Structure formats: C-alpha cells, structure tokens
Structure 1
Amino acid sequence: MTGNAPRWVLVAQRQAGLVTRRQLRQLGLTSNYVDAQLSGRRWQEISSTVLATTTGALTRPQLMWAGVLHAGPRSAIGGLTALEVHGLDNWHRDEITVLIPKSHHLERIKGIKFVETRRPIQLMTSSKALPTWRVEPAALHWAAYTPVTRSAYGVLAACVQQSLTSPYRLDGWITRMRPLRRAKPFRRVLGEIAEGSQSVAELDVLRMCDRFGLPRPRRQTRRLDSAGRARYTDAEWSLTDGRTLVLEVDGGFHMTVKHWGADLERERQLVATGLVVVRCTAIQLRDDPERIVRDLLRIGLLGSSA
C-alpha cells in the first residue's frame, strides 16, 4: 500500500486489518460507507465495536487485536498469550487472554477470555504495537492464579530457560507487584533457577533430594560423550566407588519417535564414557519419587541416614 492510501487503511494495517467503528468515525468514514462494506461482504463485523477489513476466519494476531480493540485503550494482552507474543514456546493455549480493568463488563467474543484485574494495566505494558504485558508481570500474574502450582513454577523456569527474562528481573517484579499470591515460594524457586535449575523437572529433583535426605546433585554438567559431542546432564552425583551417577529426566516431548531415538543414542554415548545413567519420566519424578530414590540408593548413592 502506498503513502497515498486513506488514513483508515494505514490504521487498519497497523492493527492486522481490524478497526473500531469509533476509529472509522474519527477518520471521517460515514456509517453508510461502513454499512456498504459490510453488506457487500468486503468487511465483517467481529463485535458491536470491532470490524475486520478482511473476510474469512481471523488469524491469531487478528483475534488478539480484536480483543484489545473491543476492550478499549486500557486493556492489554496478558497471561500465556502475552508470553506467546514475546516468543515463549511449548506453553500454547488456544484461548486468548485480554486483561481489562476490574468491573469493566464486556460483550463476549468467541476464543477470547477477558480477565479483570485491579493492577495498572498500562504501566505493565511493553512497547509493542499490540498492547501486551511485559514478560515478567505476565508470567507472574498467570503463575499466581493458575490452580496447578507445578505449572506456575514451570512457566517461570521456561521464561528463564528460553532467555525471555532472568530470575533477578522476575524477583524485582515480585516486589513491584506486591501483594502477589505465592510470592514466597516464587522467590524460593527463582533462587533455585538462579543456581542452575533449567526446568521444573530439575526443581522436582531438588525437592526429591530434600524430602528423602539425598545429597543435592550437580546440575547441567557439561560432558563429552563417546563421539566427542558436548552433552549437559540433568543431575549428577559422585559415588564412593569413584563412579558418577547421572539421572536424566524425560519430559513429554521425549516420547516422540524422533526424540526417543535421540535420547537412546545420547544415553549409549554417555554410558560408553563410564557414567552410570538412570532415566525416569517427569511424571514418575512428580508422582512416585520413592521408587526412583530406592533405585538410586541401590546403585550406590548414599542418603543422609547412611
């Protein structure tokens, strides 16, 4: 589109093809013009206030814009949707989250969840064109209210692991967002992440060790396998007989054929260097750590009672 395009076209381009009726009025378009576009099926009505200047199903970015345009200038993309916008992988949810001021009731739009909050939405919004909460408040706010504590810890670990933020920035935002549910356990978990835990599974390993009196392992240790490639182990202990015991935790994505084969090769090449490698799933670690502990003890790991 050239620089001579009508102003409403430029506004729509910045908003993924969506505009509000109020914007169109301010830009000089009459209701008759708008109605003609709708009746000619060149545009479509998304809500009583938002129009799409395209036809067909809305794309995901368009649906995000529909939510914030419908909710008004004091709204923003929040929760896991905000983290998706910032680039977080593996935490996708189909439903889009839009944060709105408390007691700000809205007409519903399919596929969008409007979440009321008393927090200053605009002060926590990033500089992106699409009004979106910053990584830290988005992650902490979602983690504070998700019913599954392990998921709360997992999203904080994922944000750090994927280099979207750091434990120190998240800790600073806990202070800025005071009062915040789960603030104390969040600070404890962030401390563990700062010390080297890369995932919620690694945090589960530490909790298992503390619960059953096992020494805390070394984490994310760099090793060269039998092929000379660098590998990073999840957890390691030195045994009294000089061997090194490695515990590898497999998450859900490890169950795919591609990852399963790669994991088997990785295990073989680590074992070939003399390491003792034990594997478990993240579900086993979470739901039945006693059995894992028994096996570690039988291999030679000494607990505090030994």
Structure 2
Amino acid sequence: MRELDWVLFEQGGVLSTKQAVGLLGAGKVRHLIASGRWRRWCRGVLVSHPGELNHLQQLWVAVLSVGGGAVLAGLAAAAESGLRGFRAEPIDLLVPEGRTTASARRHLPPGMPGVRVHRTRSLPQEHLQVGRPMRTSTPRSLVDAAGWARGDNEARSIIAAGCQQRIVTPQEIITVVQQLPRARRRALVVETAQYAHGGATALSEIDFVKLCRRHRLPPPDLQEPRKDASGRTRYLDAYWRAWKLHVEVDGAHHMQVRYWEADMSRQNEVWIAGDRILRFSAWQVRHRPKEVADQLRRALMTAGWVPVE
C-alpha cells in the first residue's frame, strides 16, 4: 500500500488502470470503482476520488490517457515553467513519431480542456524537464508553442514574453531551433530571440526595431536605464544617446489613468534632463510605419544626425 500511496501522491491522485492493477490486482480495482471510492475518468485512467478534477489532475489525465511516452508540451508545459499571460488550453502533448496522432485522439477524456497531440521525430533528453507530469524543457516548450501558434504575431509574443519574464534566455531559444531543422517558423523564432537579445522584449519594441531597419534609421539602444528624481531606475523604450532622442512606444495599458500619469511624470523628467522625446502608440508603429519613420527621421536630423545615402 505504501507504493500505491507514493504513486497517488506523485500523480495527484490519478493513475493508469495498468498501474492500479499492477499495485492492487484487478479485483480490488473493480471493487474501488464499484463502491464509488474511485472513478474511471476515461479509458485507461482512474482517479482516486469521485469529485471534479483540479488543474494538476487534468494534466495527469491528459498525459495518461494518451500514454506511449506522451509529455506536456507547448504553452501547457511553458505555463508549468512559469510563463504568464497566455491561456494554456488546449493541453498540448508530444508523443514519439511511431505513435500516430489518430490513435492517441481516440482516448481523449471528456469533461476536460481540449487536448492536442503532436508527433515529433526529435525529442532528445536535454529537451525534457522533470515535472509532475513530465514536460518539455522551457526553451523547447516555447519553440513548439510558437510553431503551433495561431499566427506570426502570437508566435513572436510567446518568444518575447518568455525572454521578458526571464524564464528562458534568447540563446537557449536559438540553440533549440538549431536542433530542430523541421520546426515551424524557425526564421521568425530566431529573429525574435535575436531582437530580445538586443533588448526588445515586447512585441511593440520588436516592431519598432524592425521599422528602424526597414527605413534605414540608426538602431536605437533599447531598455536604456535612467534614474528618476526619486532615485528609482526607469527604462526607456528606445534611446539614441548620440542625439539625445528618446522614444516611447505605448501599448493599450498606457491609456489607463494610473499609467498615463506615470508616463507624463517620466516624460517631464526626460525633458528636464535635456532630451527630446517622441511618443507613438503600438498601433501607429504597426499600421502607420511611414508616418512614424518620417517623424523619427526629422527628429534625428534636427538633433544632428546625417543620413548615409
């Protein structure tokens, strides 16, 4: 019984029918189910209580229902590693290529978040991370999540967020991509990681750096530290030190009163320090790039920059 208690503890009260029979015998398992103490949640998976599943149990049911070496992957695995801001549903699983996706899907449990099963040819040991349940490593999880994202912007957001939240480094992302020659969106993932290495850890900042390159403007320094009047360290979105030009790219949250007032105070500090400041919305950067580039060019030239023809 001690071994059973350990398995139930390790797996959040969820175990496969094969595990249960091996530990207790088929007769005892049938009795526990018939008495209502245990519940058969889906084919091949038992839960050691009759109630609803918590989050951890849902993950275990997903993995055990698929079996065959399945591990948590994508956003589901990244969320378990600490990624914030993304909905980790459906639950993504990776299985070895020899296990067909169709056969795995027949065993998906009802009454749970959706489960997506992906096949992979490449899952080396260094791409796995011990967890409850087993999952892919944080860099591999993010690279896979970017490949499975609904669009390029979501893919870039996932990689940028992982770097911004410091659960992964840009180099770790690039290393995983180099090991996966068939990964989807390889070029986009590497480009985003390289931008993050240069300091662009938000989608709006990445868009801004790309805009500067596209319009042949000098590259700015990103996340430039600056002490405010109270001695706190603030970070400027983009800064051209040689021309003392500071640019802020505002997302939607900047329209909230508490952020708006803080932004005004920070802008005043920049002016007091003698710098020029320009502000653009993230929407302008993405949808009116020529207008943004024109104002940047004129501001830089006013400050002394000479374009190289």
- TM-score tier by shorter-chain length is 0.7 to 0.9
Alignment of 1:209 onto 2:212: yes
**Which residue does 2:12 correspond to in 1?**
16
Cα distance in 2, alignment partners of residues 93 and 246 from structure 1: 36
CA offset at residue 41 of structure 1? 3.6
Cα distance in 2, alignment partners of residues 83 and 15 from structure 1: 19
Q: Which runs of 5+ in 1 are unaligned?
A: none
**Which residue does 2:70 correspond to in 1?**
75
Q: Which runs of 5+ in 2 are unaligned?
A: none
TM-score (norm 1): 0.85
Tell whether the 8 Å contact from 1:215 to 1:303 is kept in structure 2 after alignment: no
Give the alignment partner of residue 151 of structure 1, picking from 140, 149, 154: 154
Give the alignment partner of residue 54 of structure 1, picking from 25, 46, 49: 49
Q: For 1:249, what is the secondary structure of its paired residue?
A: strand
Instruction: State the AA in 2 paired with 1:135.
Output: T
- The 1:73–1:117 alpha-carbon spacing in structure 2 relative to 1, beyond 3 Å, is closer
Cα distance in 2, alignment partners of residues 180 and 93 from structure 1: 20
Equivalent pairs, count: 298
Pick which of 273-282 and 167-176 moved more: 273-282
CA offset at residue 299 of structure 1? 4.0
Alignment of 1:25 onto 2:21: yes
Alignment of 1:293 onto 2:293: yes
Instruction: State the AA in 2 paired with 1:20.
Output: S
Instruction: State the AA in 1 paired with 2:289.
Output: P
RMSD after superposition: 2.6
Tell whether the 8 Å contact from 1:239 to 1:300 is kept in structure 2 after alignment: no
Cα distance per residue 1:180-225 (max 9 Å; x no partner): 2332343333333223322232211111112222221111111112
Cα distance in 1, alignment partners of residues 10 and 122 from structure 2: 25
Give the alignment partner of residue 237 of structure 1, picking from 223, 240, 247: 240
Tell whether the 8 Å contact from 1:197 to 1:203 is kept in structure 2 after alignment: yes
Alignment of 1:114 onto 2:119: no
Tell whether the 8 Å contact from 1:98 to 1:115 is kept in structure 2 after alignment: yes
Alignment of 1:181 onto 2:177: no
- The 1:36–1:281 alpha-carbon spacing in structure 2 relative to 1, beyond 3 Å, is farther
Instruction: State the AA in 1 paired with 2:181.
Output: R
Pick which of 289-298 and 20-29 moved more: 289-298
Q: Return structure 1 stretches of 4+ with deviation > 6 angstroms.
A: none
